[in-house]
Amino acid sequence: MEYKSLGRTGLKVSPLCLGTMQFGWTADETLSHRILSAAVEAGINFIDTADVYSRWVEGNPGGVAETIIGNWLRQSAFPRDQLVIATKVKGKMGTGPNDEGLSRKHILQAVEGSLQRLGTDYIDLFMLHFPDPLTPIEDTLETMNQLVEEGKVREIGCSNFDPAQLGEALDVSARGDLASFVCDQVEYSMVHRDPESNGLTQTCLETGVALIPFYPLASGLLTGKTKRGEAPQGRLQMDRYQNFLTDENFDLVEALEAYSRARDLSMVEVALGWLLAQEAVPVVTVGATTPEQVTANARGADWSPTGDDLAALRAITG
């Protein structure tokens, strides 16, 4: 793989980042370890998790995915210093009033928990999972800056911040000489184009912040496994993803299927290659529930669309 700089940092990351939301949910620990091993064997050095993964599963405490990754790190011969590990903070991790959010108290408590579960002395990239309207961004950034100065965190980023929220945070960091966001992780795919329409792509280009898409395959729609008029497959069976199942989106999928087939490519290759060709996007977050999916996703990072390819895809996607 051709490694790229993450935003302005010079930190080199693989063009694919392994998302681990499924660890402890649709992938048990043994399978999760196999997925992690397949990822590093494919050249992926960037692993993304969050303290709340998979707390939504009945009987699971918070930190399950982090614990699984930490156990794999201890058992694996792969050197920790060759990995870029990202985790996130904000979600509800307990029943107390300060067990969620982006207050100084919760962030300091959360980072210690993440470090312990991951079994590491530092976090390469510590991200705010969502904005917190109840906490001034100044307080949050001062706390994140402290973690950088202490060496517990190398870089900071955000997730699910819109252009105004990202711009405000960057301004606060600049005025206070504080650590600044190097990335914004948001939903972005051929189906979900909000970062283009809301101006986030342009903001990232102007500021040097890396735009990191998640759900790049539209929760599986862009794999082509779910057909028009048939029962949805995988994550698309869940109520929260039913909004993808529109006639307009199926029109797009069928056109992409024809485009991919004519060029002897998979839809995954086309969907990921298109995203990685966007100027603001150095890396894409992809999940997997099997090692084979990791290998298939890794192949997607190998296809670089030409100008003619991008023009043809623009005609299809709009």
Q: How far is residue 210's CA from residue 185's CA, in Å, rounded to a whole number?
A: 8
pLDDT band at 230, cuts 50/70/90?
A: confident
Q: Alpha carbon 151 to chain centroid distance?
A: 23
Residue with more model confidence, 101 or 223:
101
**pTM of model > 0.85:** yes
What domains, with CATH codes, occur in the chain?
4-222+267-304 (3.20.20.100)
DSSP secondary structure string, 244-305? G--HHHHHHHHHHHHHHHHTT--HHHHHHHHHHTSTT-S-EEE--SSHHHHHHHHHHTT---
Single-letter code of the amino acid located at 107: I
Q: How far is residue 103's CA from residue 311's CA, in Å, rounded to a whole number?
A: 46
φ, ψ of residue 64 in degrees (nearest 5): -65, -50
What are 173-216's pLDDT values in tens digits? 999 999 999 999 999 999 999 999 999 999 999 999 999 999 99
pLDDT of 305 above 90: yes
Give the pLDDT score at 38: 97
Active site residues: 53
